[in-house]
Amino acid sequence: MVGDFDAAEAMHDRISDRSEAWDFIRAFAAGWYSPLTDGDGVGQEELKQIEGRLGLPVPTALREAYLLFGRRPELFEHQDPMLPPSDLFVHADLGGVLCFRSENQGCELPRVS
């Protein structure tokens, strides 16, 4: 831990919207790793290219996450990691859902439709 960030204390008042969630992630990153910087997110153009490959838009909250910390794997590569933007895929056998995470034992694919 880099600073004195207390996740339980930071969540004491709950997170009621995405803006507060991103603020929590900024504080968490700064407290446990290093502060987020402008270069920590993927670019809009990269996301547009990925959407073109997928044939569908990246959902808003996921897009915001990648823009904020998509190049900071230490924030999302632990238990059941979020996939890097370049690894997003559409699972045809599951009805064309977008898979965005990998369950740690390979038993399930977290997804959105």
Does residue 10 sit within a domain? no
Tens-digit pLDDT string for the chain (113 aa) = 556 788 888 887 788 899 999 999 999 999 989 999 999 999 999 999 999 999 999 999 999 999 999 999 888 877 778 888 999 999 888 788 888 887 666 555 554 54
Does residue 98 sit within a domain? yes
Q: Could you give the number of structural domains in the chain? A: 1
Q: Kindly list the distances between the CA atom of residue 21 and the CA atoms of 45, 50, 52, 54, 108, in Å, as whole numbers in the listed order.
A: 24, 24, 28, 26, 25
Does residue 16 sit within a domain? no
Name the residue range of residue 59's domain. Answer: 36-112
Query: What's the longest Cα–Cα distance across the chain?
Result: 46
pTM, 2 dp: 0.82
Does residue 79 sit within a domain? yes
Does residue 64 sit within a domain? yes
